[in-house]
Amino acid sequence: MKRLISVVALVMCLCTILGGVSVFATTNKSYTYSISGNPVDSPDAFTPDRQVSAAQMGIELSEPADLFVDESDNVYIVDSAANKVMMLDKFYKFKMAFGTSFINDQGVPDSLNKPNGMFITGDDIYVADTENCRIVVFDRNGEFKRIVEEPTSDIMSDDAIYKPIAISVDGQGNMYVVSSTTNNGIIVMNRYGVFQSYVGAQKVNVDPATLVWRQFMTAAQRAQLQSYVPTEYNNVTIDNEGFVYATISSLDPGAQQAAVMGNSSDNSPVKKLNSAGDDVMARSGFFGPGEVNIINSSRDETDILGPSTIVDVALGPEGTWTIVDQKRSKFYTYDSYGRLLHVFGDKGQMRGNIVMAEAIAYQMDEKVDENGEIVREVKLLCLDKTALNLTVYRQTEYGDILINALHNDNERKYEVAVDDWNSILQRNGNFDAAYVGIGKSLYREGKWEEAMEYYKYAYDTAQYSEAFKEYRKEWISDYVWVVPLVVIVVCLAGSKLFSWAGKVNKAGILKKGKRKFHEEVLYAFHLFGHPFDGFWDLKHEKRGSVRGATFWVVLAVVSFTYQAVGQAYLFNPKGATSSVFVQAVSILMPLFLVVTSNWCLTTLMDGEGSYKDVYIACGYSLAPLPFFVIPSVLLTHVFSLNEAGIVSLLVSIGWIWVGLLVFFGLQVTHAYSIIKNVLTCAMTIVGAGFIMFLGLLFTGLIQKIVGFISSIITELSYRM
């Protein structure tokens, strides 16, 4: 019996050990995002090192609110409910506490009241004393120094409530304060507590329909509507260069999700503000900071959808910065270019997981290794508000290599960084920053084509464009005779084509009877510069036909199909394609909507053109498109991003030309005055929209009927 109990106990111990290993395995699972928004596995940059309970720290935690690590690796925890700040050593052991009782500058006993944030610079410890509406400054020994009272200014409203919850201080002593009840941005005060300005006010999202509806409301109704005011920040920190990193979690979910997906500054949950309050954060990654909605993924975390709830940001080594998502208990780390490096963390009760993340901070301890070299040990600390503990994550070997590569990259030692980037790619072939780093090294060596290939792997179109310009310059210097030759050939071919078309059209003036197909097609060249007499002859002299108009419609479809599949990488980095069917629908549907709508209207407005005449006029009006779309696609293979405007300009000119031809063609076809034609064209657009609405309504009705009949048949089959 004793032997059986021993065996059972041994099995339980093994299960516990294996369970602990599996806990670390699930917690360590790191990933990044692909360009499609799906998670891509990556090695662990951080791994759970330990979870330190309040008892192990030698303190009592009631309501932890903030976390800070000084340059000596001492850890400070702000306890809001206990009204104090606790200082721990680098090993997370209690050293001292302050704030519960001190003598203020008036010689009166005082204490903190619901403090929520802190910051240390020089010899000063700044504490956001929230409920007392002030900032209290202590020295490094926890002794009281001074009080920064609530700021006053003419631009601050009289009924404004000042509740500081977070603070950062720059090298000049300027204070950046987040007030939980202030929606004008971050409050900036000088070292003496004098108000300077608001910075970084959030963009206001207003529903356009509500704005219109407000014009018809009474004053009482407008007063009951939601007040459209900017939302408040929730945390702030500052780097050595004076740039302020601020987070916000009260954004509109839809607006924040759009900002993440669109990599936009507006409504972003994290901003990097300069002294003027402008967001200067680089966003070179596939997505903006925070979570994206993952569709059709097998990961468990996809059960938590919607934008992140970002509650804190911490500045790491080599320009990296990490944000924490309280909703998912995940940590997202980015480099100075805004590229996502890795994501890790999970929500739960197990060791290494976080229940309710409240604050994060980096702890970087420098040690001397066995070779006498200084080694920096990087840790990330997370304060758990619910579990009342401190979770410590240690940077792994993969993370060390990544930071070392970023260091060499920041120091412009691209050749040295290549070894680190290659080492990273051996562990993580999906890491785009490594491809960019190798591309930079190849670029400096003058290997433009190879650099372009690596930039292409990372979808870095900006760097690719720079390498492409150098490659193009080198190619032109080697084949300088090709460029003028191509220009001469294109000019001669175009001249011959237009000359031949002119001769055919001139010979067709006096021709009677049925015309040949090529004569009908080439008549479009006469319309390019002579729309009035051209469309007159097109209708009355039968210079064109339905088959001629159809030819130009089909050629327009082919042109846009070629545009969809033939553009160079710089102009289509994601490799998006489109089928002939999609392009045909995108051309034919608007065409027949316009033709049908215009014919319906003109039969009521004394128009002289038939449905056939309108179709022919509109079909021939599409003729300029191929002459602009196809060259624009070819130019994408020789243009860089700096010349992208020329490509867009060519296509725009083609569409403007088409619009003018349609306008003049309908005017001549129906024998309208210009004013009547303008009115008819406007009504045609409205009519086309109405026809589309009826079509969608009819389609929906048919689907309802089919579904109803199908359900009846299914029900009868079950009952019979």
Is pLDDT of 358 > 50? Answer: yes
Residue type, 151: P
In this predicted structure, the answer to whether residue 195 has a pLDDT above a threshold of 50 is yes
Lowest mean pLDDT among 74-88, 211-225, 402-416: 211-225
Domain membership of residue 334 (yes or no) is yes
Tokens 């970002």 belong to 310
For the chain, helix, strand, coil in percent to 5 are 45, 20, 35
Note whether 460 and 391 are same-domain residues: no
pLDDT of residue 372: 67
* pLDDT band at 511; cut points 50, 70, 90: confident
Whether residue 414 is predicted with pLDDT greater than 70 in this model: the reply is yes
Which pLDDT score is estimated for 506?
Answer: 86
- In this predicted structure, what is the pLDDT of residue 293? 59
The pLDDT-based confidence of 205 (bands split at 50, 70, 90) is low
> Whats the size of the chain, residue-wise?
720
pLDDT digits (tens, 9 = 90+) for 228-286: 445 678 999 999 999 999 999 878 788 888 888 888 888 889 999 998 889 999 988 88
Q: What is the pLDDT of residues 103-158, one digit of tens each?
A: 999 999 999 999 999 999 999 999 999 999 999 999 999 999 999 999 988 777 76
Same domain, 464 and 599: no
CB 86 within 8 A of CB 99: no
Full domain range(s) for residue 613: 549-701
Are residues 587 and 625 located together in one domain of the fold? yes
Of 213 and 683, the structure prediction assigns the larger pLDDT to 683
Whether 589 is covered by a domain: the verdict is: yes
Higher pLDDT, 530 or 720: 530
Distance spanning both ends of the chain, measured CA to CA: 64
Q: Which residue shows structure tokens 């790491």?
A: 316
Residue 362 sits in the same domain as residue 457: no
Per-residue model confidence as pLDDT tens digits over 684-698: 999 889 888 888 888
- Residue 559's nearest CA partner among 586, 590, 540 is 586
Residue 168, H or E segment: strand 164-169
| pLDDT at site 335 | 92
Domain boundary among 363, 395, 427: 395
Q: Which long-range contacts (CB under 8 A, 24 or more apart) does 290-294 make?
A: 290/256, 290/260, 290/323, 290/325, 290/332, 291/260, 291/325, 291/327, 291/328, 291/330, 291/332, 292/33, 292/37, 292/257, 292/260, 292/261, 293/37, 293/257, 294/37, 294/38, 294/39
Percent of the chain with pLDDT over 70: 88
Is residue 493, in this structure, part of any structural domain at all?
no
| 7 occurs within a structural domain | no
Average pLDDT of the chain, as a whole number: 86
- Which value, to the nearest 10 degrees, does the dihedral of the CA atoms of residues 559, 565, 566, 571 take? 110
**pLDDT for res 297:** 45
The reply to whether 603 and 690 lie within a common domain is yes
Mean pLDDT of all residues in 400-405 = 93
Does residue 430 sit in the same domain as residue 567?
no
- Residues 524, 528, 529, 532: is their CA dihedral positive or negative? positive
Q: Is residue 214 part of a domain?
A: no
- pLDDT for the residue numbered 369: 65
**Domain shared by 672 and 570, yes or no:** yes
More confident residue, 30 or 116: 116
- Residue 533, pLDDT > 90, answer no
**Structure pTM?**
0.78
- Distance, in Å, from the CA atom of 303 to the CA atom of 327, rounded to the nearest integer, reads 11
Phi, then psi, of 198 in degrees rounded to 5:
-100, 140
Q: Reply yes or no on whether the pLDDT at 225 is more than 80.
A: no
Where among 427, 449, 478 does a domain terminate?
478
Say if residue 295's pLDDT is above 70: no
The Cβ of residue 124 has, within 10 Å, a number of other Cβ atoms equal to: 16
Look at residues 32, 35, 61 and name the one whose alpha carbon lies nearest to residue 44: 32
**With contact defined as beta carbons under 8 Å apart, do 195 and 189 qualify?**
yes
Contact partners, residue 317, CB within 8 Å, separation at least 6: 362, 364, 376, 378, 403, 406, 407
Q: What is the pLDDT of residue 208?
A: 57
Same structural domain, 674 and 613: yes
Name the domain count of the chain: 3
Show Cβ contacts of residue 573 under 8 Å, excluding neighbours closer than 6 positions. 456, 459, 461
Is the pLDDT reported for residue 220 higher than 80? no
**Of 26-30, 89-93, 503-507, 542-546, which has the strongest mean pLDDT?**
89-93
What's the average model confidence in pLDDT over 612-638? Answer: 93
Contacts of 648 (CB under 8 A, 6+ apart): none
Residue 20 within any structural domain of the chain = no
Q: Are 193 and 213 in contact (CB under 8 A)?
A: no
389-to-58, 59, 225, 262 alpha-carbon distances in Å: 12, 10, 43, 36
